[in-house]
Amino acid sequence: MWDYSAKVMDHFRHPRNVGEIDNPDAVGEIGNIVCGDALKLTLKIDRSTEKILDAKFQTFGCGSAIASSSALTEMIKGKTLDEASKITNKDIADYLDGLPEEKMHCSVMGMEALEAAINNYRGITTSSRQRPEGEKIICRCFGVTDRKIAQVIEMNNLTAVDQVTNYTKAGGGCGQCRPQIEAILAEILKKEREKKQSLLRKKMTNLERIRLIQETLEKEIRPYLQADGGDLELVDIDGHTVYIRLIGTCQSCPSMDFTIETFISQKLRQVLHEDIEAKKVEE
């Protein structure tokens, strides 16, 4: 049995805003009966302020799908379209005090229905036949596009293919598209890593920089030298030069210059992203 929060059960047992608005200003429909869940959202919108005056839903789906839809309608009423469009699936899940990970796709369905309704109001068609240029279906079983997969990965900081399946259903049918999902995920994770590293470089104080050099020597370099009966000490850091004293077998090692210049320098460059150079101190 799923471990649903009290709030999910409350919205499931007593769903808010069930039904269909007569002459709605916006309609968002997502999912279908084959997939196992579907949501139809209808909105009444004040044309001058673009404020959502009323929202109603109809949902075919499990307990968390009904609860997510109910939560969504409560969250968007009274908001302008711009404000509402900032709501993510995570906000819907948080509103319900969380959803089991396997059920996160219910919150994504809520977000998608809202997107569809806003697009509908603004005259943008998002039917599957008229997908934006460059967007393509990755999961044929559940009709999930690369754009949707990327969006959900970024919004929820996902790191594994199984998570993507839990959040979007993609890969949950025949499973043939899992390598493609893996590739999208790897691409995004790589970009995020690069972004983080560049941030790190910009913000690092001198003290942090020294600590990072020490840590790298400690964890990434010394164990290798020690394995061969050698070791090193950090003597000084001057600008881009790191001065090091070699100990034990390293002192008499014929490949010592190579050790310093390539191995240690490379390791430090990987972490610090600057043209750092390691130099040995002559005794």
Partner 1 sequence: MKTIYLDNNATTRIAPEVLDQMRPYLDELYGNPSSMHSFGGQVAKKIAQAREQVADLLGASSPAEIIFTSCGTESDNAAIFGAVRSYPEKRHIITSRVEHPAVLNTCRYLPKEGYRVTFLSVDHSGQLDLEELRAALTPDTAIVSIMYANNETGVIFPIDEIAAIVKEKGAIFHTDAVQAVGKIPLNLKESQIDMLSLSGHKLHAPKGVGALYLRQGTKFTPFLLGGHQEGGRRAGTENVASIIGLGAACELAARHIPEEQTGVRALRDKLEHSILAKVPNTRVNGDPIHRLPNTTNIGFEFVEGEAILLMLSDRGIAASSGSACTSGSLEPSHVLRAMEVPFTHAHGSIRFSLSRYTTEEEIDTVISELLPIIDRLRAISPFGPKSKTLAQNQKP
Q: Would you please indicate which residues are annotated as catalytic (active-site) residues?
A: 35, 106
Q: Counting contacts by CB under 8 A, is residue 34 touching partner 1? A: yes
CA 127 to CA 104: how far, in whole Å? 23
Stretch that binds partner 1, among 117-125, 169-177, 197-205, 230-238 (CB under 8 A): 169-177
CB nearer to partner 1: give 24 or 172: 172
Residues of span 61-80 touching partner 1 by CB under 8 A: 61-63, 65-66
Residues of span 98-117 touching partner 1 by CB under 8 A: 102-103, 105
3 state DSSP class of 131: coil
Q: Counting contacts by CB under 8 A, is residue 220 touching partner 1? A: no
- The token duo for 66 is 């009904």
Q: What angle do CA 31, 57, 23 make, to 5 degrees?
A: 105
CA 50 to CA 61: how far, in whole Å? 30
CB nearer to partner 1: give 58 or 85: 58
Q: Counting contacts by CB under 8 A, is residue 143 touching partner 1? A: no
CB nearer to partner 1: give 169 or 267: 169
| Binding residue (CB under 8 A) for partner 1 from 24, 26, 37, 278 | 37
Binding site for partner 1 (CB under 8 A): 9, 12-13, 15, 18, 29, 33-34, 36-40, 58-63, 65-66, 102-103, 105, 141-142, 165, 169, 172-173
